[in-house]
Amino acid sequence: MDYFSTRGRAPRLGFADVLLGGLAPDGGLYLPSVWPTISGAEIAAFAAMPYADVAADVVSRFTGDDIPGDLLLSMCRDAYAGFGHKAVAPLVQSGPNAWILELFHGPTLAFKDLAMQLLARLMDHVLGARGRRATIVGATSGDTGSAAIEAFRGSSKVDVFILFPKGRTSEVQQRQMTTVADENVHAVAIEGSFDDCQALVKALFARDRFRERVAMAAINSINWARIVAQTAYYFSAAAALGAPGRKVSFTVPTGNFGDIFAGHVARRMGLPIDRLVIATNRNDILARTFAEGRYEVRGVVPTESPSMDIQISSNFERLLSEALDHDGAAVTRLMHGLAQSGAFTIPDGAMERIRGEFSADRADEAETAEAMAAAWNRSGYLADPHTAVALAVAGRIPVSDVPMVTLATANPAKFPAAVEEATGVRPPLPAHLRDLFERQERYTVLANDVRALEHHIEARARAATLEA
């Protein structure tokens, strides 16, 4: 299995190199050169298999010979063994032919754990085999950072630098990142927005000397291994609801377009998905793009669903590449337009193809709070604000024979203030996080400045020290 860059001007790589590399040297994102398929009989068999085994099967289609199959299976079993629910990603019925797919039973209470726990094991294995170290630099709007820190803490091969927008994450999210004592963990509060943090990571990646000196690796949702790890739960959920004999639809609370792109991958692999619905909060660049055919960045507005307070949805480039028949020059032109003027217009043919496979809608703050209140009042279900954005959007779609699955991306206890305001109920933190507010915080505040960040990392990354 080899991978090409969406911009078409980088060498093709195998899975292990894509895993460590993140962004392609031409600025593009990697996609597999063919879509592996999973047959109807194999999908049907998933219904009776443990989650970890389904994940190993789905992921194995993308790893080629780089990860032996039995090792991948033991990594998956290990990655999901610590989850707080036996089913790992359980389905809960929420209405007539409506279901919630709970993806928040991992250690940091958001769906990011599903990918990150596996990613850390994959990276450790590949680095060990090559006798190398790496430095992870990741931007987070809250949940990626804590999931990465939890997955990589104590690693002898990897140092983790996590940039978060100062004061824009929830208190629980911040403390999950800043109270970890392991020396290989470095939390950095940036004076700026999440998009600023993400731009800093991209700028560091573009600095060849720095990238090579610290062996920089990416754990953001542009990392292909994260996407494929997430593809697994589309299969497990659909199989549980009767696929391949029955089609299933999904509504996905969307920020960086990683989670919903994993649904697109599942569909490409043969999973009979009827609708993939993108749900955004007030930061609705994707919903506007679907309405207008024009991708246009506006300022980020802080909301109660901060992990979706994003204007530049990085993984959307992968979908553009698909819709443009992998024409690297065309993708490059659009992305240059974005960099220069903050906007691009999607050619009509490509936009039609995208609309044929996805739809998009948004929920504002009042609608999100209403969705939380409605879920609580109707069925005693506490949804976090991200999940509630998707519940609000899914709720507008008429009930049909096709089951609608809404992805629940965070435990409500991660956002207690917003949940309490909407429902009157304050969700308690699970036992392993009860003393979170008594723990000592440790983090550095830096300006939104790439040089300052570069110095900060070079002074601390073990990969750099070794080679100096």
Ligand X SMILES: *Cc1c(COP(=O)(O)O)cnc(C)c1O
- By CB under 6 A, name the binding residues for ligand X: 110, 112, 143, 221, 253-259, 307-308, 386, 409-410
Nearest distance, CB of residue 145 and ligand X, angstroms: 10
Note the Cα 253 to chain centre separation in Å: 11
Residues 6+ apart with CB under 8 A from 381: 92, 94, 100, 375
Question: How distant, in Å, are the alpha carbons of 24, 89, 311 from that of 384?
Answer: 35, 16, 21
Cα 387 from Cα 307, distance rounded (Å) = 11
Tell me if residue 112 is catalytic.
Answer: yes
Of 327, 315, 255, 306, residue with least CA distance to 285: 255
Q: Which helix (H) or strand (E) holds 428?
A: none
Contacts of 151 (CB under 8 A, 6+ apart): 113, 116, 117, 119, 120
179 vs 303, which CB is nearer to ligand X? 303
Q: Pick the closer one to ligand X by CB: 259 or 361.
A: 259
Of the two residues 247 and 386, which places its CB atom closer to ligand X in the complex?
386
In the complex, what is the shortest distance from the CB of residue 207 to ligand X, in angstroms, rounded to a whole number? 25
User: Would you say 110 or 394 has its CB closer to ligand X?
Assistant: 110
Catalytic residue among 112, 157, 166, 202: 112
Contact 325, 31 (CB under 8 A): no
Sign of CA dihedral 35, 294, 29, 135: negative
Angle between helices 348-357 and 316-323 (to 10 degrees): 110
Amino acid (one-letter) located at 113: D
Task: State in angstroms the smallest separation of the CB of 166 from ligand X.
Answer: 18
Q: Which of residues 328 and 395 has its CB atom nearest to ligand X in the complex?
A: 395
Q: Hunting for tokens 């109920």 — which residue is that?
A: 425
Helix 143-152 crosses helix 112-130 at what angle (to 10 degrees)?
40
CB of 146 to ligand X, least distance (A): 9
Residue 345 CB, nearest distance to ligand X (Å)? Answer: 23
Residue 70's closest CA among 59, 88, 56? 56
Q: Name every residue whose Cβ is closer than 8 Å to that of residue 168 and which is 6 or more positions away in sequence.
A: 141, 193, 194, 302, 306, 309
Helical H segments across 94-253, by residue range:
112-130, 143-152, 171-178, 194-206, 208-214, 224-240
For the bound state, the minimum distance from the C-beta of residue 253 to ligand X, rounded and expressed in Å, comes to 4
CB closer to ligand X, 127 vs 229 = 229
User: Min. distance of Cβ 83 from ligand X in angstroms?
Assistant: 16
Sheet holding 185-190, edge to edge: 216-217, 134-139, 158-165, 185-190, 444-446
263 vs 395, which CB is nearer to ligand X? 263
User: Which sequence positions are flagged as catalytic?
Assistant: 112
